Structure 1
Amino acid sequence: MAKPRAPKASRFPGAKPSSKPAQGLPDRETLLRFIREAGETNKADIARTFGLKGADRKALREMLLSLEADGSLGRRGRRGLAQAGALPPVGVVDIVERDPDGELLVRLVKGGDDIPLVRLAPERDMVGGAPGLGDRLLVRFERLESGELEARLIRRIGASAHRILGVIRKARRETRVEPVDRRTKESLVIPEGEALELRDGDLVLAQVGVSDRRYGPKRGKILEVVGREDQPRAASLIAIHSHGIPTGFSDEAEAEAEAAEPPTLAGREDLRDLPLITIDPADARDHDDAVYAHPDDAADNAGGCVVWVAIADVAAYVRPGSALDKEAREKGNSVYFPDRVEPMLPERLSNGLCSLRFGENRACLAVRMVFDAQGRKRSHKFVRGLMRSAAKLSYEQAQAAIDGTPDETTGPLLETILKPLWAAYRIMLKGREARSPLAIESLERRIIINREGEVASIQPRASLEAHRLIEEMMVQANVCAAESLEAKRTALVYRIHDQPSAEKLQALGEFLGTLGIPWTKGEAPRTERFNRLLAETRESPHADIINEVVLRSQMQAIYSTENIGHYGLNLQRYAHFTSPIRRYADLVVHRGLIRALGFGDDGLTERDMAQMKDTAERITLAERRAMAAERDATDRYIAAFLADRVGAEFPGRITGVTRFGLFVRLDETGADGLVPISRLGGEFFIHDDRMHALVGERSGDRWPLGMRVDVRLVEATPVTGGLLFDMLSEPAPPDATAPRPRLGAIRRKPGAVDAKRRGGPPKGVRKGKRR
């Protein structure tokens, strides 16, 4: 009689438990182990497995809710449960987005918030062309040697139903829509009957249809002609449509804005005697903050100062539940392009009644802050007031006056307003330095657009002390807003920033190790530690790239009703308060202060508070959308600026290393472009993610992150914003301390076995007879 085999261990989450567990209500660890082995289950199956009835079922429900609340379990569909973050061996996914490198990311259809996005592995010779955004697929999840999860396509389930923005390209036999997203290679064929009215170069919004052919492009349906690719301002138009930026305002919202009236003193404190001034970019059209400072004359605060920050009282005009409020919440924020602004509020408010214009009465919410001689805030007080700006200055004007060259506007203000402001800033700077927020430097460039809408020049954006003065005063006002709302136990939307993850810190440490820079892995990731690293390497040849890698190691700030503090600013409480004209988050905080401090009946409503969490999520997504649109428009304008310089050579630096090539940032314009891996020479290159380098398979030559190189521009495509370079420099020599890459590694999947070692022919090759 054959001896029975022992049950096999689960190879991947999703296998059923190998033996029946003991009956009765399980403890927490037993329950988690059962769910982990089951892969996916539900309350009824758990109760049946453990033989639970009556009161035990109720206790099980409470235990499951507790595990879900503390993040140990995640939902799968309506009733399914699984270990948080667990994926089945095979699952149905939707392609939901692309990462910055153009890789497709998928999300499990039945997955909850605990499920991460997973990269779709590229496949060769895909039948019917490559999948695109919106496609639904059946995939197999595999874990690579690096620990990263990857989804491998098994088959398609549904055709993409997404829309694309593209340019009409007419040929003799067919009309196509070429996508403006340079990461999308899929073009659409337009039926002959629909193409008659279209012109070559039209910008169109098209619906992706189903292909009637096994190979080749899918069919498309034209939904809207939105403009022309040769329009001077096409870049921002493309960004708006491709990212779904809401534009314009309804008639109802415009009517509400037009009906708004200038403010009066009713219910307000008169602040018009305070010489508050606005300091903004020279081309700013809206002014939502004004400042004033003077020494504190209190006997117990020698050397201290008083700082006033007054912010436009947008809540007085945008009431909860109004058409203006609904549309501002949907937009989330204003979106700024080099040639235009898509505002959160109509111009009547954003550039009119809510803008703190010089010499005009304006409603404001102001905070008076008192600092001691060491820059520590001693107290603050909010008032709802009526102000009148004493001056409108640009950053450059204010800085020039302080540096000794005042003009006719700043000259009379120098002794009475500007010097006291700078004296207060010097005091506040002591507190900032003691706090030690992250000191990452980022060089920004400004695109100058001429009257015809074309790029006239690209200039580095100056970093002035005047910028830092306004920034620090706004930061402290934001802190005061969060503290006041917390003290009054009023709901608010925090601006939070988490500390770097353990994975990012490990990757940073490994990269620094390749440069011979020590980085203790077990040390807490305090901001002082990053600042010390940046300071110690500031004069080294690796300064720029270390700054870049430290920046990439940080998490993104978000809006949330749950406070974890702001890591980058090194603050325990922080909420956006200072820009309500252009950010909905600030408007919500204003309403909270109005309600908490009894400033009127136009504060937070019960409905506002009930949907606060949803609001935080919405405005976070809106911010991401705006940032992506602004970045894409900038890329397109830069590509248009460089289009007539194809063939020119430029110095730059490698700022990105991927499996398919190198990203190089040009010194002159800050433009980023791609050197495809096929243009790096005849050998195969391995992507070493630990070393952040492409390494020659045979020679060991390296293209590391941060390396200075010279490139030749071979292609600039304004409609997509894409730049393509040829590499002119030679690679760095092999690193004697690094392990040599294995021959053939690039052509083998993780875990693959050579045919000779496995025995028999390679997979997919049938063994034939000898003849």
Structure 2
Amino acid sequence: MFIREEIQKFMDDEGYEPMTKEELVLHYDLPISEYRMFFDLLKSMERESIIIQTQKGKYLLTKNSSEYFTGIAQRNSGGFGFVSTENENGEDIYISKQNMKNVMHKDKVFGKHINNKSGNKPEGKILRVLERSKETIVGTFHKEKNYGIVIADDARAYFNIMIPKGKINGAKEEDKVVVEIERFFEGQKKPQGRIIQVIGNKNEMGTDILSIIYQHELPIEFPGAVLKEVQNIDQKVHPGSLKKRTDFSELFTVTMDGAEAKDFDDAISIEREGENIILYVHIADVSHYVKKNSPLDKEALLRGNSVYLLDRVLPMLPEALSNGICSLLPGKIRLTKTVKMTIDKGGKVIDAHFYESYIQSDYRLIYKDVSDFLEGKEAVFEDSILKDKIVLMQELFQYLYKNRVHRGAIDFDFPETEVIVNEKGEPIEIKQAERRIGNKLIEEFMLIANETVGAYYKKRNAPFIYRIHEKPSEEKAEDFLQILQLFGYHIDLQSLTPKEYQKIIKESKGKKEEKLIHTLLLKSLQKARYSSCPDIHFGLSTDSYCHFTSPIRRYADLFIHRVMHEDLMKNGNFSLRKDDKEISMIADHISRTEMKAELTERAVNDLKKAQYMNNHIGEEFTGIVSSLNNFGFFVEVDNTIEGLVHFKFLSDYYYFDENTWTIRGETNGKVISIGDEIRVRCINVNIEAREIDFNWIEEEKNE
């Protein structure tokens, strides 16, 4: 019996020439009795737009067609959109508002290429929706006379949902709700649904962030079976658990985290040995408590990672574990996995060993205190041994960092935003986050531990999950180079290495265009992801890397802890094969959950920025022009918030000159360039869309 995968594989072969259905049955040498079933399968695949028929009646895969395409629609709040095709080498296809039809954001669609009158970029029109992306929408409820309307929070949803009177589920005016869509579009009929969850009134504290959580479909509460399992985990370490472990409890050991941290899953010990330094990285042995395929493990895999939001954490594991028996608290015996590395003055690991171990932390250090001490600001520590250890940490950091930069690793030390909220969840301050020496010490130590573990198990050819970061695509690198050349920079596309990118960061430092160059550099890079196959990590300039150091908050690390356990305690008798499909499925899944977490965290921060600026409408700010486009330019003000200066609000006709990468006034001849400092006024904020509008004070219209 035929399966569609066999047909797809055959048609995707490089040597395949489109065939008629009659030619296909001859190719497969089918008996006449199977013709009907085979033809029905072809029709089914055609309906699903997996294959198409040419005018001559010959079949080929849609993704290999020059006339048609399938892909995922990205709808813009303005109604137009793009389709990311399934052809890896293809560009995104522009779809005008008229040609988007009734497509919703992230729908899988089938479309046809059309002539683009305005340029050489691909353009198309949607013929039909193959698969809806979502069956639920989060939005704000509004009551009408005999029905309700839900306006989606995500403007890209583009359509309001009608709620029949009997399906309102107690929702009141301006409640945030979750709607299950029961009917998308039928002819002229608009989408219709039922309210399945009332989140709370939009003005109630916490409802805004909770709505974003529901919008991104993140799990909140743990199932009963998981909580029951956690309740049965003893919060004390029993002597029997220590028998086959290496005792590192006498080592001088510290944790180092932010002031607000509660889950301490990593600790370090450090010693000098002749010309070398020995670094011990101890990681909470979460795998000892979270058994494979248990309810706790299945829930951790489902979540994939913890999500850190401004007013809450959505943990991968219940707090009884993350803040309890798996937290490396001072004075408490805790089970760990330890990576012991001997590192020379060149920052290279010359010897490494792994252990199932236990420790007892001596101090809980805070980044700020360590930074103050090393910067000579305050004598915050009295223990002379502790002081010496911290100084030794700084020495090791310098060796490791210098070596990493020397080999070409890209230093992504770009400024991040810190949002400070009050007890009501209202943003009261937004500023550039501090990243001082204390933070950098631990980051560097975790990097070398992750790399050491990854390199070892790559050599062992073990079943593993790697953290990979592929080389930039040729297309993105070329686009990046075009803009670089406008500012007098250059990268060698023929031998594109991390050192080329590192050079650009160094050369642009302190220049007007620095922020733009850094932003475009990041956009040109691939997204780091998890993979069952080893590959390069372009950003770190290494060919073997993994995530091992945070099993409390990342499932990838938990998986690797299990691999290490089987290596150390079961003589390398691994329960999975290297090519087991389960590993690649886990890697793909946790890559998706990581992306979902990042999008959620970004949405929450953008929301709070919009709320903050909504209280400052009419006020003036000094800002730097950060990017340019065909309808305006973005300005980043002193508090790191970015807003759009739209051409329509300016007194002259302004346009974007792609050749010089500038904004020019047609009549007054004024020129705006990246990095220019200007004064702007906040004139409008759309909190729901998280959009901020500025105006250029010098060019405000007189109305």
TM-score (norm 2): 0.84
| Cα distance change, pair 665–604 in 1 and its aligned pair in 2 (3 A) | farther
TM-aligned CA deviation for residue 679 of structure 1: 3.6
| Cα distance change, pair 488–136 in 1 and its aligned pair in 2 (3 A) | closer
Counterpart of 1:667 (choices 626, 637, 657) is 637
Counterpart of 2:508 (choices 520, 534, 537) is 537
- 1:724 is the counterpart of 2:693: yes
| Cα distance change, pair 531–158 in 1 and its aligned pair in 2 (3 A) | closer
Counterpart of 1:89 (choices 67, 86, 103) is 67
Cα distance in 2 for residues equivalent to 1:643 and 1:329 = 39
TM-aligned CA deviation for residue 192 of structure 1: 3.9
Cα distance in 2 for residues equivalent to 1:609 and 1:567 = 26
Cα distance in 2 for residues equivalent to 1:340 and 1:158 = 34
Counterpart of 1:151 (choices 112, 121, 124) is 124
The equivalent of 1:272 in structure 2 is 249
Classify the secondary structure of the residue corresponding to 1:712. strand
Mapped contact 1:278–1:391 kept (Cα < 8 A): yes
Cα distance in 2 for residues equivalent to 1:553 and 1:156 = 30
TM-aligned CA deviation for residue 170 of structure 1: 3.8
Which piece of structure 1 moves more, 586-595 or 402-411?
402-411
TM-aligned CA deviation for residue 697 of structure 1: 8.7
| Cα distance change, pair 161–578 in 1 and its aligned pair in 2 (3 A) | closer
Counterpart of 1:593 (choices 547, 553, 564) is 564
Cα distance in 2 for residues equivalent to 1:44 and 1:260 = 64
Q: Per-residue CA shift, 1:81-104, capped at 9, x if unaligned?
A: 96896345135x565545899964
Q: Per-residue CA shift, 1:350-369, capped at 9, x if unaligned?
A: 11111111111111000110
TM-aligned CA deviation for residue 163 of structure 1: 2.0
Cα distance in 2 for residues equivalent to 1:667 and 1:609 = 50
Classify the secondary structure of the residue corresponding to 2:569. coil
TM-score (norm 1): 0.77
Cα distance in 1 for residues equivalent to 2:541 and 2:685 = 41
Classify the secondary structure of the residue corresponding to 1:282. coil
Counterpart of 1:32 (choices 14, 35, 45) is 14
Cα distance in 2 for residues equivalent to 1:381 and 1:484 = 10
Cα distance in 1 for residues equivalent to 2:182 and 2:670 = 46
Counterpart of 1:712 (choices 664, 675, 681) is 681
Cα distance in 2 for residues equivalent to 1:286 and 1:102 = 44
| Cα distance change, pair 178–711 in 1 and its aligned pair in 2 (3 A) | farther
Cα distance in 1 for residues equivalent to 2:208 and 2:521 = 31
Cα distance in 2 for residues equivalent to 1:677 and 1:42 = 55
The equivalent of 2:406 in structure 1 is 434
TM-aligned CA deviation for residue 373 of structure 1: 1.9
- 1:575 is the counterpart of 2:546: yes
- 1:121 is the counterpart of 2:79: no
Equivalent residues in 2 for 1:223-622, closer than 5 Å: 223-261=196-234, 262-263=236-237, 264-297=241-274, 303-406=275-378, 409=381, 411-515=383-487, 517-598=488-569, 604-605=575-576, 609-622=580-593
Which piece of structure 1 moves more, 528-537 or 267-276?
528-537
The code of the aligned residue for 2:163 comes to I
| Cα distance change, pair 219–563 in 1 and its aligned pair in 2 (3 A) | same
The code of the aligned residue for 1:721 comes to R
Cα distance in 2 for residues equivalent to 1:398 and 1:365 = 25
Classify the secondary structure of the residue corresponding to 2:195. strand
Cα distance in 1 for residues equivalent to 2:52 and 2:248 = 56
| Cα distance change, pair 253–140 in 1 and its aligned pair in 2 (3 A) | same
| Cα distance change, pair 702–209 in 1 and its aligned pair in 2 (3 A) | farther
Mapped contact 1:652–1:710 kept (Cα < 8 A): yes
TM-aligned CA deviation for residue 595 of structure 1: 1.1
| Cα distance change, pair 543–246 in 1 and its aligned pair in 2 (3 A) | same
Cα distance in 1 for residues equivalent to 2:336 and 2:428 = 38
The code of the aligned residue for 1:206 comes to V
| Cα distance change, pair 411–599 in 1 and its aligned pair in 2 (3 A) | farther
Cα distance in 1 for residues equivalent to 2:360 and 2:242 = 12
TM-aligned CA deviation for residue 576 of structure 1: 0.5
| Cα distance change, pair 255–143 in 1 and its aligned pair in 2 (3 A) | farther
Cα distance in 2 for residues equivalent to 1:323 and 1:429 = 41
TM-aligned CA deviation for residue 249 of structure 1: 1.1
TM-aligned CA deviation for residue 401 of structure 1: 1.8
- 1:205 is the counterpart of 2:187: no
| Cα distance change, pair 567–82 in 1 and its aligned pair in 2 (3 A) | farther
Equivalent residues in 2 for 1:685-704, closer than 5 Å: 685=655, 688=658
TM-aligned CA deviation for residue 523 of structure 1: 4.3
TM-aligned CA deviation for residue 574 of structure 1: 0.4
Percent identity (aligned): 25
TM-aligned CA deviation for residue 158 of structure 1: 8.8
Cα distance in 1 for residues equivalent to 2:541 and 2:77 = 28
Cα distance in 1 for residues equivalent to 2:386 and 2:163 = 65
Q: Per-residue CA shift, 1:418-452, capped at 9, x if unaligned?
A: 12222222232332232231023311111122222
Classify the secondary structure of the residue corresponding to 2:14. helix
TM-aligned CA deviation for residue 533 of structure 1: 2.1
The equivalent of 1:3 in structure 2 is none
TM-aligned CA deviation for residue 541 of structure 1: 1.9
Q: Per-residue CA shift, 1:546-597, capped at 9, x if unaligned?
A: 2222222211111011222111001111011001100000111111111122
| Cα distance change, pair 95–436 in 1 and its aligned pair in 2 (3 A) | closer
Classify the secondary structure of the residue corresponding to 1:573. coil
Mapped contact 1:269–1:384 kept (Cα < 8 A): yes
The code of the aligned residue for 1:305 comes to I
Classify the secondary structure of the residue corresponding to 1:32. coil
Mapped contact 1:498–1:565 kept (Cα < 8 A): yes
Classify the secondary structure of the residue corresponding to 1:574. coil
The code of the aligned residue for 1:539 comes to G
Cα distance in 1 for residues equivalent to 2:22 and 2:465 = 38
Classify the secondary structure of the residue corresponding to 1:597. helix
Mapped contact 1:160–1:209 kept (Cα < 8 A): no
Cα distance in 1 for residues equivalent to 2:496 and 2:78 = 27
Cα distance in 1 for residues equivalent to 2:670 and 2:22 = 59
Cα distance in 2 for residues equivalent to 1:130 and 1:665 = 34
Cα distance in 2 for residues equivalent to 1:460 and 1:479 = 30
Cα distance in 1 for residues equivalent to 2:311 and 2:467 = 29
Cα distance in 1 for residues equivalent to 2:345 and 2:62 = 50
Cα distance in 1 for residues equivalent to 2:193 and 2:333 = 54
The structure number with the bigger radius of gyration is 1
Q: Per-residue CA shift, 1:228-279, capped at 9, x if unaligned?
A: 2112222321221111112221111111112112333122111110111111
The equivalent of 2:42 in structure 1 is none
The code of the aligned residue for 2:180 comes to Q
The code of the aligned residue for 1:252 comes to A
Q: Per-residue CA shift, 1:691-748, capped at 9, x if unaligned?
A: 66667799997766555444332332334423233344559xxxxxxxxxxxxxxxxx
Classify the secondary structure of the residue corresponding to 1:325. helix
